[in-house]
Amino acid sequence: MNTVKSIKMVAIAVVMAAVAAVVHGQTASGVCQCRIPNGPPNPHPYLVGYLGVYKNLDWMAVARTLDFNKMTHLNLAFINPPLCGGPCSAQSDMTLGGNRSFTDDALKAVVDAAHAHGTKVLISIGGDGGDRNIMQFYNAGLSAQLIEAIDAYLKKHGLDGVDVDVEEPKQMGVPFTSFVTALVNKLRPQGKLVTAAVAQYIQAGAQDDVLPLFDIVNVMIYGTYERTVSDMAYWSLANYPNAWAVDSVGGGTYRDGAVFTYQGETTVARETQLSRQYGGAMVWELTQDDPSSPHSLLKAIQRNLDPNAPPVPEPAPRRGGDN
């Protein structure tokens, strides 16, 4: 990644999962002046939020309560075509959509709310497991047809671009590069964004030429995703009321005292301040936060994206020789 000069990178891990944001090709407008590690804060950091529209929720209510403070981009995860159920062809169903509860009316409510705050809205295609719905088409030589369906969906709903989240390294060779190239060639002349979610284990299967094609690269930095999401978001805070103040809890009645490791409020604040030196921060996933809590992690991120926020002190070294 250090060899890709046109990409400016930032990382942050948060309890809602983990993650980072990166920015490409927007320095000319002064939007992103990204820095090297340990440099001064980026004066225009990005905050990219993923919204899990694969869930069955009251999305009209969600649209009314989303916190767009400092949020520059909102990625709707995930909007995919169905699986072909056999060999894909040009006649295969490429109709895009999320959960059935995420209706066109709900989509419009989310887009209108985001645009009212100056937040760009993208569809995120693929996802871990859902990437099969995308790979099946470009591996069958049907990139052009899929891109036409994507383009039509963006135009119909007034969306600002596409986030590509393909997470299968063995399926990210020449066909993936060709798909992304064609997608960029179709959308960028219209002023649409093409972004990506990547990780170190994923990037090993991708060609070097593909990263510079994206406008924003969201770098996923995970601990244990399933355990963090299920245990922290729904139970740990209830069983450990002060969990926000630390990075690990255990020894209680939940799961026979099992230990859960995650990123607490102070760690998130420090990681956000690190992210200011790069392109900004990306959050997975917004519905897992509690916006009413004084310890909302999104609020902690928003506060610490401010370049004038006071530095968070370094944690005290652990005893016993641990670093």
DSSP 36-53: -TTSPPPSS-EEEEEEET
pLDDT of residue 271: 83
| Encoded tokens for 137 | 């088409």
pLDDT of residue 2: 24
DSSP 80: B
pLDDT of residue 255: 60
Longest CA–CA span in the chain (Å) reads 64
Contact 49, 283 (CB under 8 A): yes
- The helix (H) or strand (E) run that includes residue 24 is strand 22-24
Contact 16, 225 (CB under 8 A): no
pLDDT of residue 48: 93
Contact 219, 11 (CB under 8 A): yes
CATH topology for 7-225+265-305? TIM Barrel (3.20.20)
Distance, CA of 211 to CA of 198 (rounded, Å)? 9
Gyration radius from the chain CA atoms:
20
Residue 190, phi then psi, degrees to nearest 5 = -90, 0
Query: If the chain, 323 residues long, is cut into consecutive pieces of 10 residues, what is the mean pLDDT of each piece?
Result: 26 32 39 50 84 96 94 97 96 96 97 98 94 96 98 98 94 93 97 90 82 85 41 45 72 69 80 82 83 84 89 68 43
Give me the amino acid identity at 198.
Answer: V
Contact 20, 11 (CB under 8 A): yes
280-283 β-sheet, strand order: 7-9, 22-24, 216-219, 193-198, 161-165, 120-126, 73-77, 46-52, 280-283
Give me the amino acid identity at 118.
Answer: G
Contact 196, 172 (CB under 8 A): no
Distance, CA of 189 to CA of 160 (rounded, Å)? 12
pLDDT of residue 139: 95
pLDDT of residue 272: 83
- The helix (H) or strand (E) run that includes residue 305 is helix 297-305
Distance, CA of 158 to CA of 111 (rounded, Å)? 8
**Paired strand residues for 7:** 24
Whole-prediction pTM value? 0.66
Q: Minimal CA–CA distance to 244: which of 202, 181, 204, 290?
A: 290
**Paired strand residues for 283:** 49
Give me the amino acid identity at 32.
Answer: C
pLDDT of residue 116: 98
Distance, CA of 226 to CA of 240 (rounded, Å)? 19
Domain coordinates in residue numbering, the chain: 7-225+265-305
| Encoded tokens for 258 | 């099992």
With tokens 């020894």, the residue in question is: 251
Q: Minimal CA–CA distance to 219: which of 23, 15, 65, 4?
A: 23
Contact 93, 83 (CB under 8 A): no
| Encoded tokens for 160 | 């600002």
